[in-house]
Amino acid sequence: MASEALEQNTRALSGSSDSSLLADFLSNTLVLRQTIPYLPISALLNLTSTSKQLRDLLYSDPDVFRHIDLTHVKAAQFEVAGIDHGGEVWRNVQLDEYLTEDDFYSGPLRGIFTSLQRRNILQSVQTLNLDGLSVTAELIHDILVNPQFAVRILSIRETKHLNHRKLMQSLKYACRASRPDNTPRLRGLYLFSKRDVPALASSPKAATPAAVVGANWNHKSAHALKEAILDQGDDWYHKRGRIISKPVGAGWAETLLDCRDSILFDAVLCTGPRHRNSRAFGKVAITGDTATHPWSVATYSVSGCATCGTAPEGFTTYGESLTEELPLLTPLATEASNIRAATRPQGRGCSKALPKQQFVPRCEDCIRERYCFACDQWWCESCYEVPGKEEWMGVQVVALEDEANGLAAHEAAALEQPKVKVRAGYCVHCNLRGLQRRRSRPG
């Protein structure tokens, strides 16, 4: 394996303090491309400051600073401040009476951006990972509209101090019909999914540049993460059930809709027939109130209906559906900073059973009492009408402790009447077999 050879080379180098040897090693484009994504910005900046040869090498390649991961902000703060000999970058975070809430919470990142801009690096950054950091809506607004930023893929999952209301306003503003040509530069925003498993070691303590690579290039864990994705499959396309575990705030569905020409998200709109964006809107009878949710963000992924094998609105299919209907996938792509790489499914997943990479995105309202949390089957609106409240009154559902063997025929019949398929999140068969105890129902 090329990656194993690389890792051995890096390990061998970490025993040496010869930076020109490292420069030779990294001057191989393939090696450079494979190594850079796994180095934190602090290690890269350290490398540029160790020798002219390394600095020239790293600054001459626009790809070196294309993908920046600041998620380990403590290390980044410390290292960038260290390079600045005395914390120059922190000057704009000094506490004074004019300090705004935004200055305070976004200060550390603004300081880092200022430092990157001074080095002419900021313009090269196309993928920016700020997961888990203190990120304000004002900061995102700057990234969206300020021409000094060229970020195309931005990840702000599980961040602190983010005002969603303000962020939605900024996104709608950036995507407004009267926006200047070629704006916004941002094409993908990760916000709804869980952040990627940390693949990097924290701050580099090693003194030599070679040791910095050795200590930080945790290739194995990044490789393991990728392998896990390959085996388990991608979110949406191969995983079934709840994909977005956090509640999605009001207004996000409209924001996704307003931005769909410009910015994709790690979530998509529900395509269920009760919503106006659905291909099946108005074509299938819907029970319940549809007026309150003209659009909704999908939080579940389901396969074709257990009866008809599809859905009234059809599937979202990779390679066939419009790009604007595809979700950004995790982990963040390191090989390129564009929508194509960010939406491409990687998993081996269900490739045999499903020749096409496809799924049906649904919100909670559109799978309620249609989807079984134990066996992942569901019944679509064309095939199954969920009984109304009055009809439920007549339905006796027996919660079974063990097996269904002891169930009397009339009890089983009661479960099936009137044509109930799913009750309390589990289908009739799984209810009968007591399967609901094996899997906990989320939310």
243 near Zn ion (CB under 5 A): no
Q: Is the CB of 34 or the CB of 296 nearer to Zn ion?
A: 296
> What is the C-alpha separation between 158 and 244, in angstroms, rounded?
12
Radius of gyration in angstroms for the set of CA atoms belonging to the chain, rounded to a whole number: 26
Q: Which is nearer to Zn ion, 109 or 422 (CB)?
A: 422
At its nearest, how many Å lie between Zn ion and the CB of residue 352?
22
Among residues 108, 184, 272, 347, the one that binds Zn ion under rule CB under 5 A: 272
Residue 354 near residue 343 (C-beta atoms within 8 A): no
Q: Which of 133, 259, 270, 350 binds Zn ion (CB under 5 A)?
A: 270
The single residue among 116, 143, 380, 400 that binds Zn ion, judged by CB under 5 A, is 380
Q: Out of 427, 432, 433, 436, name the contact with Zn ion by CB under 5 A.
A: 427
Pairing of strands 358-362, 241-242: unpaired
Q: Which stretch binds Zn ion (CB under 5 A): 66-74, 125-133, 185-193, 268-276?
A: 268-276
Q: Closest separation between CB of residue 227 and Zn ion, Å?
A: 30
The nearest distance, CB 95 to Zn ion, in angstroms, is 47
366 interacts with Zn ion by CB under 5 A: yes
For Zn ion, the closer of residues 82 and 294 by Cβ is 294
Q: Kindly give the interhelix angle for 137-145 and 101-118, rounded to the nearest 10 degrees.
A: 40
User: Starting at the edge strand that comes first in sequence, how are the strands of the sheet with 316-317 ordered?
Assistant: 241-242, 300-302, 358-362, 316-317
Contact predicate 109/133, CB 8 Å: yes
If the CB atoms of residues 72 and 275 are measured against Zn ion, the closer one turns out to be 275
286 binds Zn ion per the rule CB under 5 A: no
Q: Which stretches of 260-368 are assigned E, i.e. beta strand?
A: 264-265, 300-302, 316-317, 358-362
Residue range at the interface with Zn ion (CB under 5 A); choices 64-72, 150-158, 295-303, 317-325: 295-303
305 touches Zn ion by CB under 5 A? yes
> Residue ranges of the alpha helices (H) in 50-185?
52-60, 73-83, 101-118, 137-145, 164-174
Here the tokens at position 299 are: 């939080």
Looking from the CA of 348 toward its CB, the CA atoms found within 13 Å total: 6
Q: Which of 206, 383, 386, 407 binds Zn ion (CB under 5 A)?
A: 383
- Interaction site with Zn ion (CB under 5 A): 270, 272, 296, 305, 307-308, 363, 366, 372, 374-375, 380, 382-383, 427, 430
